[in-house]
Structure 1
Amino acid sequence: MVNLFWADESGLPVNDRGLAYGDGLFETIRMQGRKSVLLPRHLDRMVRDARRLGIAVSLKELDAVARQAAERWGSDDPSKGWVLKLTLTRGAGGRGYRPDAGMTPNLLVACGPVPPATADEGVVADFSSVTLSVNPLLSGIKSLNRLEQVMASRELDGAVFELIMSNPAGHLVEGTRTNLLVKSCDGWLTPPARDLAVSGIMRQWVLERLRQQGEVVQERPVEVGDVLSEFCLGVYLLNSVLGVVPVRNLAGRNLPVDGGLATICNPFELLE
Protein backbone atom coordinates (compact mmCIF):
# COMPACT_ATOMS: atom_id res chain seq x y z
CA MET A 1 0.00 0.00 0.00
CA VAL A 2 1.03 3.61 -0.59
CA ASN A 3 0.31 6.79 1.34
CA LEU A 4 -1.96 8.74 -1.01
CA PHE A 5 -1.81 12.54 -1.31
CA TRP A 6 -4.10 14.64 -3.52
CA ALA A 7 -2.28 17.80 -4.62
CA ASP A 8 -5.40 19.96 -4.30
CA GLU A 9 -5.66 18.97 -0.62
CA SER A 10 -2.12 18.60 0.72
CA GLY A 11 1.51 18.25 -0.26
CA LEU A 12 4.14 15.68 0.59
CA PRO A 13 5.74 15.63 4.07
CA VAL A 14 8.75 17.91 4.49
CA ASN A 15 10.99 14.87 5.10
CA ASP A 16 9.84 13.07 1.95
CA ARG A 17 12.80 11.47 0.19
CA GLY A 18 11.56 12.62 -3.20
CA LEU A 19 11.90 16.22 -2.06
CA ALA A 20 15.20 15.65 -0.27
CA TYR A 21 17.05 13.42 -2.73
CA GLY A 22 14.94 12.96 -5.87
CA ASP A 23 14.31 9.44 -4.57
CA GLY A 24 11.35 8.51 -6.76
CA LEU A 25 9.82 8.76 -10.21
CA PHE A 26 6.83 10.22 -12.01
CA GLU A 27 4.44 9.80 -14.93
CA THR A 28 2.56 12.47 -16.90
CA ILE A 29 -0.52 11.16 -18.71
CA ARG A 30 -2.63 12.90 -21.35
CA MET A 31 -6.31 12.91 -20.38
CA GLN A 32 -9.35 13.87 -22.46
CA GLY A 33 -12.40 14.25 -20.26
CA ARG A 34 -12.35 11.07 -18.19
CA LYS A 35 -10.46 9.08 -20.82
CA SER A 36 -6.72 8.63 -21.07
CA VAL A 37 -4.01 8.09 -23.68
CA LEU A 38 -1.84 4.98 -23.24
CA LEU A 39 -2.64 4.74 -19.51
CA PRO A 40 -1.77 1.00 -19.16
CA ARG A 41 1.69 1.61 -20.61
CA HIS A 42 2.33 4.50 -18.24
CA LEU A 43 1.30 2.47 -15.22
CA ASP A 44 3.27 -0.58 -16.36
CA ARG A 45 6.38 1.56 -16.70
CA MET A 46 5.92 3.11 -13.26
CA VAL A 47 5.60 -0.31 -11.63
CA ARG A 48 8.56 -1.71 -13.58
CA ASP A 49 10.86 1.24 -12.95
CA ALA A 50 9.81 1.53 -9.30
CA ARG A 51 10.89 -2.09 -8.94
CA ARG A 52 14.28 -1.15 -10.40
CA LEU A 53 14.60 1.48 -7.66
CA GLY A 54 13.42 -0.92 -4.96
CA ILE A 55 10.10 0.87 -4.41
CA ALA A 56 7.10 -1.43 -4.02
CA VAL A 57 3.83 -0.43 -5.73
CA SER A 58 1.20 -2.53 -7.46
CA LEU A 59 -0.37 -2.02 -10.86
CA LYS A 60 -3.82 -2.57 -9.34
CA GLU A 61 -3.24 0.22 -6.84
CA LEU A 62 -2.02 2.70 -9.45
CA ASP A 63 -4.88 1.87 -11.79
CA ALA A 64 -7.43 2.50 -9.04
CA VAL A 65 -5.84 5.87 -8.22
CA ALA A 66 -5.77 6.91 -11.89
CA ARG A 67 -9.47 6.13 -12.24
CA GLN A 68 -10.27 8.06 -9.07
CA ALA A 69 -8.38 11.01 -10.53
CA ALA A 70 -10.36 10.77 -13.79
CA GLU A 71 -13.61 10.99 -11.82
CA ARG A 72 -12.26 13.77 -9.60
CA TRP A 73 -10.92 16.10 -12.30
CA GLY A 74 -12.30 14.86 -15.61
CA SER A 75 -15.58 15.68 -17.30
CA ASP A 76 -18.00 14.00 -19.67
CA ASP A 77 -16.64 16.16 -22.50
CA PRO A 78 -13.74 14.29 -24.20
CA SER A 79 -12.63 17.48 -25.93
CA LYS A 80 -11.44 18.93 -22.61
CA GLY A 81 -7.82 17.95 -22.20
CA TRP A 82 -5.76 17.93 -19.03
CA VAL A 83 -2.66 16.24 -17.66
CA LEU A 84 -2.58 13.71 -14.83
CA LYS A 85 0.71 13.56 -12.94
CA LEU A 86 1.60 10.70 -10.61
CA THR A 87 4.67 11.23 -8.41
CA LEU A 88 5.86 8.19 -6.49
CA THR A 89 8.57 8.49 -3.82
CA ARG A 90 10.24 5.98 -1.55
CA GLY A 91 8.51 7.63 1.40
CA ALA A 92 9.47 9.88 4.30
CA GLY A 93 12.41 9.49 6.64
CA GLY A 94 15.70 7.67 6.73
CA ARG A 95 19.10 8.80 7.95
CA GLY A 96 20.81 10.79 5.22
CA TYR A 97 20.90 9.00 1.91
CA ARG A 98 20.24 5.61 3.47
CA PRO A 99 16.51 4.78 3.54
CA ASP A 100 14.87 2.97 6.43
CA ALA A 101 13.88 -0.63 5.84
CA GLY A 102 10.25 -1.32 4.98
CA MET A 103 9.33 2.26 4.13
CA THR A 104 5.81 2.99 2.83
CA PRO A 105 5.93 4.82 -0.51
CA ASN A 106 4.18 8.17 -0.99
CA LEU A 107 2.06 8.83 -4.08
CA LEU A 108 1.20 12.42 -4.97
CA VAL A 109 -1.60 12.83 -7.52
CA ALA A 110 -1.99 16.13 -9.36
CA CYS A 111 -3.70 17.59 -12.41
CA GLY A 112 -2.54 20.36 -14.72
CA PRO A 113 -3.40 22.04 -18.01
CA VAL A 114 -2.51 20.63 -21.41
CA PRO A 115 0.26 22.63 -23.16
CA PRO A 116 -0.86 24.62 -26.21
CA ALA A 117 -1.08 22.58 -29.40
CA THR A 118 1.84 22.95 -31.79
CA ALA A 119 1.41 24.28 -35.33
CA ASP A 120 0.84 21.74 -38.11
CA GLU A 121 3.74 23.21 -40.07
CA GLY A 122 6.15 22.27 -37.29
CA VAL A 123 8.27 23.92 -34.60
CA VAL A 124 11.70 25.49 -34.26
CA ALA A 125 14.36 23.50 -32.38
CA ASP A 126 18.05 23.92 -31.62
CA PHE A 127 20.92 22.07 -30.01
CA SER A 128 21.57 22.40 -26.28
CA SER A 129 24.99 23.20 -24.87
CA VAL A 130 24.21 21.00 -21.85
CA THR A 131 25.58 17.46 -22.09
CA LEU A 132 23.26 14.66 -21.01
CA SER A 133 25.00 11.87 -19.09
CA VAL A 134 23.03 8.66 -18.57
CA ASN A 135 23.94 6.25 -15.78
CA PRO A 136 23.25 2.73 -17.11
CA LEU A 137 21.76 1.84 -13.71
CA LEU A 138 19.06 4.49 -14.21
CA SER A 139 18.72 4.65 -18.00
CA GLY A 140 15.18 5.13 -19.22
CA ILE A 141 13.68 5.74 -15.76
CA LYS A 142 11.57 8.89 -15.46
CA SER A 143 13.13 9.66 -12.10
CA LEU A 144 12.69 12.84 -10.08
CA ASN A 145 16.30 13.81 -10.81
CA ARG A 146 15.99 15.90 -14.00
CA LEU A 147 18.57 18.61 -13.27
CA GLU A 148 20.32 18.28 -16.65
CA GLN A 149 17.00 18.84 -18.41
CA VAL A 150 16.29 21.80 -16.11
CA MET A 151 19.64 23.39 -16.95
CA ALA A 152 19.11 22.82 -20.67
CA SER A 153 15.59 24.28 -20.50
CA ARG A 154 17.02 27.53 -19.15
CA GLU A 155 18.48 28.08 -22.64
CA LEU A 156 15.03 28.11 -24.26
CA ASP A 157 13.72 31.39 -25.60
CA GLY A 158 10.33 32.35 -27.02
CA ALA A 159 11.08 31.26 -30.58
CA VAL A 160 12.59 27.85 -29.79
CA PHE A 161 10.18 25.06 -28.85
CA GLU A 162 12.74 22.43 -27.86
CA LEU A 163 16.47 21.85 -27.40
CA ILE A 164 18.07 18.56 -28.42
CA MET A 165 20.73 17.26 -26.05
CA SER A 166 23.87 15.25 -26.81
CA ASN A 167 25.68 12.69 -24.68
CA PRO A 168 29.43 12.86 -23.85
CA ALA A 169 30.18 10.94 -27.08
CA GLY A 170 28.52 13.71 -29.11
CA HIS A 171 25.52 11.63 -30.16
CA LEU A 172 22.09 13.26 -30.17
CA VAL A 173 19.92 11.47 -27.61
CA GLU A 174 16.74 13.39 -26.74
CA GLY A 175 15.13 16.75 -26.12
CA THR A 176 14.62 18.31 -22.71
CA ARG A 177 11.09 16.84 -22.69
CA THR A 178 10.86 14.77 -25.87
CA ASN A 179 12.32 11.75 -27.62
CA LEU A 180 13.90 12.04 -31.06
CA LEU A 181 12.88 10.35 -34.33
CA VAL A 182 14.52 11.02 -37.71
CA LYS A 183 13.21 10.11 -41.17
CA SER A 184 15.89 9.36 -43.76
CA CYS A 185 16.13 7.85 -47.21
CA ASP A 186 16.84 4.50 -45.52
CA GLY A 187 13.84 4.58 -43.18
CA TRP A 188 13.47 5.79 -39.60
CA LEU A 189 16.24 6.37 -37.08
CA THR A 190 16.11 6.84 -33.30
CA PRO A 191 18.68 6.58 -30.50
CA PRO A 192 18.72 3.20 -28.68
CA ALA A 193 16.78 3.01 -25.42
CA ARG A 194 19.95 2.21 -23.44
CA ASP A 195 21.27 5.72 -24.23
CA LEU A 196 18.16 7.57 -23.09
CA ALA A 197 17.51 9.33 -19.81
CA VAL A 198 13.79 8.80 -20.45
CA SER A 199 12.56 5.99 -22.68
CA GLY A 200 9.24 7.53 -23.64
CA ILE A 201 5.87 5.82 -23.80
CA MET A 202 5.00 7.67 -27.02
CA ARG A 203 8.37 6.74 -28.51
CA GLN A 204 7.78 3.04 -27.97
CA TRP A 205 4.23 3.20 -29.29
CA VAL A 206 5.27 5.10 -32.44
CA LEU A 207 8.10 2.64 -33.16
CA GLU A 208 5.67 -0.26 -32.84
CA ARG A 209 3.17 1.38 -35.19
CA LEU A 210 5.85 2.12 -37.79
CA ARG A 211 7.05 -1.47 -37.74
CA GLN A 212 3.48 -2.72 -38.02
CA GLN A 213 3.17 -0.57 -41.16
CA GLY A 214 6.23 -2.29 -42.63
CA GLU A 215 8.53 0.71 -42.13
CA VAL A 216 12.27 0.21 -41.56
CA VAL A 217 13.27 1.45 -38.09
CA GLN A 218 16.87 1.56 -36.86
CA GLU A 219 17.81 2.10 -33.24
CA ARG A 220 21.39 3.34 -33.27
CA PRO A 221 23.39 6.41 -32.20
CA VAL A 222 22.26 9.56 -34.03
CA GLU A 223 24.90 11.97 -35.30
CA VAL A 224 24.43 15.68 -35.97
CA GLY A 225 25.02 14.87 -39.64
CA ASP A 226 22.00 12.56 -39.64
CA VAL A 227 19.66 15.48 -38.98
CA LEU A 228 21.41 18.22 -40.95
CA SER A 229 22.33 16.31 -44.12
CA GLU A 230 20.47 16.40 -47.44
CA PHE A 231 19.37 12.82 -46.76
CA CYS A 232 17.29 13.87 -43.75
CA LEU A 233 13.61 13.81 -44.70
CA GLY A 234 12.25 14.99 -41.38
CA VAL A 235 12.86 15.30 -37.64
CA TYR A 236 10.13 14.56 -35.11
CA LEU A 237 9.82 15.09 -31.37
CA LEU A 238 7.79 12.54 -29.41
CA ASN A 239 6.03 13.20 -26.13
CA SER A 240 3.13 11.39 -24.44
CA VAL A 241 1.28 14.65 -23.78
CA LEU A 242 2.05 16.48 -27.04
CA GLY A 243 2.07 13.46 -29.36
CA VAL A 244 4.15 13.70 -32.56
CA VAL A 245 5.65 17.14 -33.24
CA PRO A 246 7.46 17.82 -36.56
CA VAL A 247 10.50 20.14 -36.61
CA ARG A 248 10.47 22.67 -39.45
CA ASN A 249 13.72 24.41 -38.52
CA LEU A 250 16.68 22.99 -36.60
CA ALA A 251 19.62 25.21 -35.65
CA GLY A 252 18.68 27.66 -38.41
CA ARG A 253 18.32 24.99 -41.09
CA ASN A 254 14.92 24.45 -42.70
CA LEU A 255 13.75 20.85 -42.70
CA PRO A 256 11.06 19.09 -44.74
CA VAL A 257 7.80 18.49 -42.90
CA ASP A 258 5.66 15.50 -43.82
CA GLY A 259 2.30 14.98 -42.12
CA GLY A 260 2.31 11.27 -42.86
CA LEU A 261 3.66 10.28 -39.45
CA ALA A 262 0.80 12.03 -37.68
CA THR A 263 -1.61 10.04 -39.86
CA ILE A 264 0.03 6.72 -38.98
CA CYS A 265 0.45 7.60 -35.31
CA ASN A 266 -2.60 9.40 -33.94
CA PRO A 267 -2.53 8.87 -30.16
CA PHE A 268 -6.07 10.17 -29.73
CA GLU A 269 -7.33 7.04 -31.43
CA LEU A 270 -6.26 5.32 -28.21
CA LEU A 271 -8.58 7.10 -25.77
CA GLU A 272 -10.08 4.70 -23.28
Structure 2
Amino acid sequence: MPHVFWADEQGLPATDRGLAYGDGLFETIRMQGRQGLLLSRHLARLTRDAARLGIPVSRRDLQSVCARAVERWPRSDDEGWVLKLTLTRGAGGRGYRADPGMTPNLLVSAAPLPPMPDPAGVVADFSRVPLTVNPLLAGIKSLNRLEQVMAAQDIQGSLFEVLMSNARGELVEGTRTNVLLKTSLGWVTPPASTLAVAGVLREWLLERLRARGEPVLEQPITMADVTGPECQGLFLLNSVLGVVPVRTLADHDLPVDTGLATIFNPLELLE
Protein backbone atom coordinates (compact mmCIF):
# COMPACT_ATOMS: atom_id res chain seq x y z
CA MET A 1 0.00 0.00 0.00
CA PRO A 2 1.42 3.43 -0.89
CA HIS A 3 1.75 6.18 1.68
CA VAL A 4 -1.47 8.20 1.26
CA PHE A 5 -1.45 11.99 1.55
CA TRP A 6 -4.70 13.98 1.57
CA ALA A 7 -4.25 17.33 -0.14
CA ASP A 8 -6.53 19.15 2.30
CA GLU A 9 -4.21 18.09 5.13
CA GLN A 10 -0.66 18.06 3.80
CA GLY A 11 1.40 17.96 0.66
CA LEU A 12 4.08 15.54 -0.40
CA PRO A 13 7.41 15.66 1.46
CA ALA A 14 10.14 17.87 0.06
CA THR A 15 12.23 14.79 -0.79
CA ASP A 16 9.48 13.26 -2.96
CA ARG A 17 10.80 12.14 -6.36
CA GLY A 18 7.68 13.36 -8.11
CA LEU A 19 8.54 16.89 -7.03
CA ALA A 20 12.25 16.52 -7.71
CA TYR A 21 12.21 14.67 -11.03
CA GLY A 22 8.62 14.23 -12.21
CA ASP A 23 9.04 10.59 -11.21
CA GLY A 24 5.40 9.53 -11.19
CA LEU A 25 2.05 9.74 -12.92
CA PHE A 26 -1.52 10.81 -12.27
CA GLU A 27 -5.20 10.32 -13.05
CA THR A 28 -7.93 12.95 -13.13
CA ILE A 29 -11.36 11.37 -12.71
CA ARG A 30 -14.75 12.97 -13.25
CA MET A 31 -16.99 12.09 -10.31
CA GLN A 32 -20.73 12.29 -9.88
CA GLY A 33 -21.57 11.98 -6.21
CA ARG A 34 -19.94 8.71 -5.13
CA GLN A 35 -19.39 7.33 -8.64
CA GLY A 36 -16.64 7.92 -11.19
CA LEU A 37 -16.83 8.21 -14.96
CA LEU A 38 -14.97 5.23 -16.51
CA LEU A 39 -13.48 4.66 -13.06
CA SER A 40 -12.32 1.11 -13.73
CA ARG A 41 -10.43 2.22 -16.85
CA HIS A 42 -8.74 5.04 -14.95
CA LEU A 43 -7.57 2.68 -12.21
CA ALA A 44 -6.49 0.05 -14.74
CA ARG A 45 -4.42 2.61 -16.65
CA LEU A 46 -2.80 3.95 -13.48
CA THR A 47 -1.91 0.43 -12.35
CA ARG A 48 -0.64 -0.62 -15.78
CA ASP A 49 1.42 2.50 -16.45
CA ALA A 50 2.84 2.53 -12.93
CA ALA A 51 4.13 -0.97 -13.66
CA ARG A 52 5.75 0.33 -16.85
CA LEU A 53 7.62 2.85 -14.70
CA GLY A 54 8.51 0.24 -12.09
CA ILE A 55 6.28 1.80 -9.40
CA PRO A 56 4.46 -0.94 -7.45
CA VAL A 57 0.78 -0.32 -6.74
CA SER A 58 -2.25 -2.60 -6.84
CA ARG A 59 -5.65 -1.81 -8.27
CA ARG A 60 -7.21 -3.01 -5.02
CA ASP A 61 -5.25 -0.38 -3.07
CA LEU A 62 -6.33 2.32 -5.50
CA GLN A 63 -9.97 1.26 -5.22
CA SER A 64 -9.68 1.41 -1.45
CA VAL A 65 -8.32 4.95 -1.61
CA CYS A 66 -11.14 6.03 -3.95
CA ALA A 67 -13.69 4.61 -1.49
CA ARG A 68 -12.07 6.60 1.31
CA ALA A 69 -12.06 9.72 -0.86
CA VAL A 70 -15.83 9.70 -1.46
CA GLU A 71 -16.36 9.29 2.28
CA ARG A 72 -13.93 12.11 3.02
CA TRP A 73 -15.48 14.49 0.50
CA PRO A 74 -19.19 13.54 0.39
CA ARG A 75 -21.28 14.93 -2.47
CA SER A 76 -24.92 14.54 -3.48
CA ASP A 77 -25.63 12.16 -6.36
CA ASP A 78 -26.27 15.04 -8.76
CA GLU A 79 -23.10 16.99 -7.87
CA GLY A 80 -20.10 16.72 -10.18
CA TRP A 81 -16.52 17.05 -8.97
CA VAL A 82 -12.99 15.94 -9.89
CA LEU A 83 -10.87 13.39 -8.03
CA LYS A 84 -7.14 13.46 -8.73
CA LEU A 85 -4.71 10.69 -7.84
CA THR A 86 -1.00 11.56 -8.07
CA LEU A 87 1.30 8.58 -7.63
CA THR A 88 5.07 9.01 -7.22
CA ARG A 89 7.90 6.56 -6.75
CA GLY A 90 8.28 7.84 -3.18
CA ALA A 91 10.70 9.96 -1.19
CA GLY A 92 14.45 9.54 -1.05
CA GLY A 93 17.37 8.59 -3.20
CA ARG A 94 20.31 10.81 -4.05
CA GLY A 95 20.13 12.02 -7.62
CA TYR A 96 18.24 10.29 -10.38
CA ARG A 97 18.84 6.77 -9.13
CA ALA A 98 16.09 5.69 -6.73
CA ASP A 99 16.74 3.69 -3.58
CA PRO A 100 15.66 0.05 -3.93
CA GLY A 101 12.43 -1.01 -2.27
CA MET A 102 10.93 2.46 -1.97
CA THR A 103 7.29 2.81 -0.91
CA PRO A 104 5.30 4.95 -3.38
CA ASN A 105 3.48 8.10 -2.32
CA LEU A 106 -0.12 8.77 -3.36
CA LEU A 107 -1.48 12.32 -3.16
CA VAL A 108 -5.29 12.49 -3.27
CA SER A 109 -7.15 15.73 -3.98
CA ALA A 110 -10.64 16.96 -4.86
CA ALA A 111 -11.68 19.93 -6.99
CA PRO A 112 -14.90 21.39 -8.42
CA LEU A 113 -16.00 20.22 -11.85
CA PRO A 114 -14.90 22.81 -14.45
CA PRO A 115 -17.47 24.51 -16.71
CA MET A 116 -18.56 22.24 -19.53
CA PRO A 117 -17.70 23.38 -23.09
CA ASP A 118 -20.33 24.61 -25.52
CA PRO A 119 -21.96 21.54 -27.16
CA ALA A 120 -22.29 23.60 -30.35
CA GLY A 121 -18.52 23.59 -30.69
CA VAL A 122 -15.38 25.35 -29.45
CA VAL A 123 -12.55 27.41 -30.89
CA ALA A 124 -9.10 25.82 -31.24
CA ASP A 125 -5.78 26.66 -32.85
CA PHE A 126 -2.46 25.05 -33.70
CA SER A 127 0.25 25.26 -31.04
CA ARG A 128 3.66 26.78 -31.68
CA VAL A 129 5.17 24.34 -29.15
CA PRO A 130 6.36 21.03 -30.68
CA LEU A 131 5.53 17.80 -28.87
CA THR A 132 8.15 15.07 -28.49
CA VAL A 133 6.96 11.61 -27.47
CA ASN A 134 9.54 9.18 -26.10
CA PRO A 135 8.47 5.69 -27.28
CA LEU A 136 9.39 4.29 -23.87
CA LEU A 137 6.89 6.64 -22.20
CA ALA A 138 4.25 6.84 -24.95
CA GLY A 139 0.71 7.06 -23.62
CA ILE A 140 1.67 7.38 -19.94
CA LYS A 141 0.03 10.27 -18.08
CA SER A 142 3.28 11.02 -16.33
CA LEU A 143 4.18 14.06 -14.25
CA ASN A 144 6.46 15.26 -17.08
CA ARG A 145 4.07 17.73 -18.78
CA LEU A 146 6.27 20.79 -19.40
CA GLU A 147 5.56 20.88 -23.14
CA GLN A 148 1.82 20.96 -22.42
CA VAL A 149 2.34 23.64 -19.77
CA MET A 150 4.21 25.83 -22.25
CA ALA A 151 1.63 25.28 -24.99
CA ALA A 152 -1.26 26.04 -22.64
CA GLN A 153 0.07 29.57 -22.06
CA ASP A 154 -1.44 30.48 -25.43
CA ILE A 155 -4.95 29.39 -24.44
CA GLN A 156 -6.59 32.74 -23.74
CA GLY A 157 -9.89 34.48 -24.35
CA SER A 158 -12.34 32.37 -26.33
CA LEU A 159 -9.69 29.81 -27.28
CA PHE A 160 -10.53 26.41 -25.78
CA GLU A 161 -7.51 24.33 -26.84
CA VAL A 162 -4.34 24.25 -28.95
CA LEU A 163 -3.30 21.19 -30.96
CA MET A 164 0.31 20.06 -30.74
CA SER A 165 2.35 18.51 -33.55
CA ASN A 166 5.42 16.31 -33.67
CA ALA A 167 8.64 16.97 -35.60
CA ARG A 168 7.03 15.60 -38.79
CA GLY A 169 4.19 18.11 -38.60
CA GLU A 170 1.62 15.47 -37.70
CA LEU A 171 -1.04 16.40 -35.16
CA VAL A 172 -0.62 14.40 -31.97
CA GLU A 173 -3.07 15.76 -29.40
CA GLY A 174 -4.16 18.88 -27.54
CA THR A 175 -2.66 20.05 -24.28
CA ARG A 176 -5.40 18.17 -22.41
CA THR A 177 -7.27 16.29 -25.13
CA ASN A 178 -6.97 13.49 -27.66
CA VAL A 179 -8.21 14.18 -31.19
CA LEU A 180 -10.68 12.28 -33.36
CA LEU A 181 -11.35 13.25 -36.97
CA LYS A 182 -14.40 12.26 -38.99
CA THR A 183 -13.81 11.82 -42.74
CA SER A 184 -15.56 10.24 -45.69
CA LEU A 185 -13.45 7.11 -45.07
CA GLY A 186 -14.40 6.85 -41.40
CA TRP A 187 -12.98 7.98 -38.07
CA VAL A 188 -9.27 8.78 -37.84
CA THR A 189 -7.09 9.20 -34.75
CA PRO A 190 -3.31 9.08 -34.20
CA PRO A 191 -1.98 5.67 -33.08
CA ALA A 192 -1.69 5.19 -29.32
CA SER A 193 2.04 4.51 -29.74
CA THR A 194 2.54 8.13 -30.91
CA LEU A 195 0.63 9.82 -28.09
CA ALA A 196 1.96 11.55 -25.02
CA VAL A 197 -1.27 10.56 -23.22
CA ALA A 198 -3.57 7.76 -24.40
CA GLY A 199 -6.86 8.83 -22.84
CA VAL A 200 -9.40 6.46 -21.32
CA LEU A 201 -12.26 8.22 -23.12
CA ARG A 202 -10.41 7.77 -26.41
CA GLU A 203 -10.01 4.06 -25.66
CA TRP A 204 -13.69 3.63 -24.75
CA LEU A 205 -14.97 5.63 -27.73
CA LEU A 206 -12.88 3.75 -30.29
CA GLU A 207 -14.17 0.45 -28.89
CA ARG A 208 -17.74 1.74 -29.08
CA LEU A 209 -17.41 2.95 -32.67
CA ARG A 210 -15.89 -0.36 -33.79
CA ALA A 211 -18.67 -2.26 -32.01
CA ARG A 212 -21.18 -0.25 -34.06
CA GLY A 213 -19.41 -1.36 -37.24
CA GLU A 214 -17.99 2.08 -38.05
CA PRO A 215 -14.52 2.21 -39.66
CA VAL A 216 -11.80 3.49 -37.33
CA LEU A 217 -8.32 4.21 -38.66
CA GLU A 218 -5.35 4.76 -36.37
CA GLN A 219 -2.94 6.73 -38.50
CA PRO A 220 -1.16 10.12 -38.56
CA ILE A 221 -3.26 13.26 -39.03
CA THR A 222 -1.86 16.35 -40.76
CA MET A 223 -2.98 19.95 -40.54
CA ALA A 224 -4.25 19.64 -44.11
CA ASP A 225 -6.46 16.70 -43.08
CA VAL A 226 -8.41 18.81 -40.61
CA THR A 227 -8.67 21.95 -42.74
CA GLY A 228 -9.27 20.20 -46.08
CA PRO A 229 -12.51 19.15 -47.79
CA GLU A 230 -12.41 15.58 -46.43
CA CYS A 231 -12.94 16.78 -42.86
CA GLN A 232 -16.49 16.11 -41.69
CA GLY A 233 -15.87 17.01 -38.08
CA LEU A 234 -13.09 17.28 -35.52
CA PHE A 235 -13.56 16.23 -31.89
CA LEU A 236 -11.47 16.74 -28.76
CA LEU A 237 -11.69 13.96 -26.15
CA ASN A 238 -11.22 14.45 -22.42
CA SER A 239 -12.71 12.19 -19.73
CA VAL A 240 -13.63 15.19 -17.55
CA LEU A 241 -14.93 17.50 -20.31
CA GLY A 242 -16.34 14.80 -22.60
CA VAL A 243 -16.55 14.74 -26.40
CA VAL A 244 -16.04 18.30 -27.62
CA PRO A 245 -16.68 19.31 -31.27
CA VAL A 246 -14.45 21.98 -32.83
CA ARG A 247 -16.32 24.61 -34.84
CA THR A 248 -13.34 26.86 -35.61
CA LEU A 249 -9.70 25.84 -36.01
CA ALA A 250 -7.09 28.53 -36.72
CA ASP A 251 -9.84 30.83 -38.08
CA HIS A 252 -11.03 28.02 -40.36
CA ASP A 253 -14.69 27.04 -39.93
CA LEU A 254 -15.22 23.29 -39.57
CA PRO A 255 -18.39 21.25 -39.98
CA VAL A 256 -19.93 20.30 -36.64
CA ASP A 257 -21.24 16.74 -36.52
CA THR A 258 -23.55 15.89 -33.61
CA GLY A 259 -23.54 12.12 -34.14
CA LEU A 260 -21.23 11.35 -31.23
CA ALA A 261 -23.70 12.97 -28.84
CA THR A 262 -25.93 9.91 -29.30
CA ILE A 263 -23.07 7.60 -28.25
CA PHE A 264 -21.50 9.46 -25.34
CA ASN A 265 -23.67 9.95 -22.27
CA PRO A 266 -21.57 10.57 -19.13
CA LEU A 267 -24.31 9.33 -16.81
CA GLU A 268 -24.21 5.92 -18.49
CA LEU A 269 -20.47 5.55 -17.81
CA LEU A 270 -20.56 6.01 -14.03
CA GLU A 271 -19.21 3.20 -11.87
TM score, norm. by length of structure 1: 0.98
- Once the two structures are TM-superposed, the CA of residue 144 in structure 1 deviates from its matched residue by 0.3
- Once the two structures are TM-superposed, the CA of residue 268 in structure 1 deviates from its matched residue by 2.2
- d(CA) in 2 for partners of 1:72 and 1:255? 44
Please name the residue that 2:78 is paired with. Answer: 79
Cα deviation digits, residues 54-98 of structure 1 (max 9, x gap):
1000010000101111122132x2221000000000000101111
Q: How does 1:18-29 map to 2 (within 5 A)?
A: 18-29=18-29
Q: How does 1:52-201 map to 2 (within 5 A)?
A: 52-75=52-75, 77-201=76-200
Cα deviation digits, residues 193-212 of structure 1 (max 9, x gap):
00000000000001011111
- Once the two structures are TM-superposed, the CA of residue 115 in structure 1 deviates from its matched residue by 1.1
- Once the two structures are TM-superposed, the CA of residue 216 in structure 1 deviates from its matched residue by 0.5
Please name the residue that 2:227 is paired with. Answer: 228
Are the counterparts in 2 of residues 209 and 265 from structure 1 also a CA contact under 8 Å? no
**Residue 4 (structure 1) aligned with residue 4 (structure 2):** yes
Cα deviation digits, residues 126-168 of structure 1 (max 9, x gap):
0000000000010000000000000000111111100000001
- d(CA) in 2 for partners of 1:122 and 1:70? 32
Please name the residue that 2:214 is paired with. Answer: 215
- Once the two structures are TM-superposed, the CA of residue 225 in structure 1 deviates from its matched residue by 1.2
- d(CA) in 1 for partners of 2:84 and 2:185? 37
- d(CA) in 2 for partners of 1:74 and 1:40? 20
Partner-residue secondary structure (3-state), 1:129: coil
Please name the residue that 2:38 is paired with. Answer: 38
Q: What one-letter code is carried by the residue in structure 1 that aligns with 2:224?
A: G
Q: What one-letter code is carried by the residue in structure 1 that aligns with 2:72?
A: R
Cα deviation digits, residues 222-252 of structure 1 (max 9, x gap):
0111100111000000001011000000010
- Once the two structures are TM-superposed, the CA of residue 40 in structure 1 deviates from its matched residue by 0.6
Q: What one-letter code is carried by the residue in structure 2 that aligns with 1:95?
A: R
How large is the Cα RMSD of the aligned pairs? 0.8
Seq. identity, %? 66
- d(CA) in 2 for partners of 1:208 and 1:153? 29
Q: What one-letter code is carried by the residue in structure 2 that aligns with 1:255?
A: L
Are the counterparts in 2 of residues 202 and 239 from structure 1 also a CA contact under 8 Å? yes
Structure 2 unaligned spans of 5+: none
- d(CA) in 2 for partners of 1:58 and 1:250? 41
Q: What one-letter code is carried by the residue in structure 1 that aligns with 2:248?
A: N
Are the counterparts in 2 of residues 16 and 89 from structure 1 also a CA contact under 8 Å? yes
Partner-residue secondary structure (3-state), 2:72: helix
Are the counterparts in 2 of residues 32 and 74 from structure 1 also a CA contact under 8 Å? no
Please name the residue that 1:240 is paired with. Answer: 239
Number of corresponding residues? 271
TM score, norm. by length of structure 2: 0.99
- Once the two structures are TM-superposed, the CA of residue 267 in structure 1 deviates from its matched residue by 2.8
Q: What one-letter code is carried by the residue in structure 2 that aligns with 1:201?
A: V
Partner-residue secondary structure (3-state), 1:141: coil
Q: What one-letter code is carried by the residue in structure 1 that aligns with 2:34?
A: R
- Once the two structures are TM-superposed, the CA of residue 213 in structure 1 deviates from its matched residue by 1.1
Q: What one-letter code is carried by the residue in structure 2 that aligns with 1:25?
A: L
Q: What one-letter code is carried by the residue in structure 1 that aligns with 2:86?
A: T
Q: What one-letter code is carried by the residue in structure 2 that aligns with 1:262?
A: A
**Residue 252 (structure 1) aligned with residue 251 (structure 2):** yes
Structure 1 unaligned spans of 5+: none
Are the counterparts in 2 of residues 55 and 105 from structure 1 also a CA contact under 8 Å? yes
Runs of 4+ in 1 over 2 A off after TM superposition: none
- d(CA) in 1 for partners of 2:112 and 2:148? 21
- d(CA) in 1 for partners of 2:105 and 2:53? 14
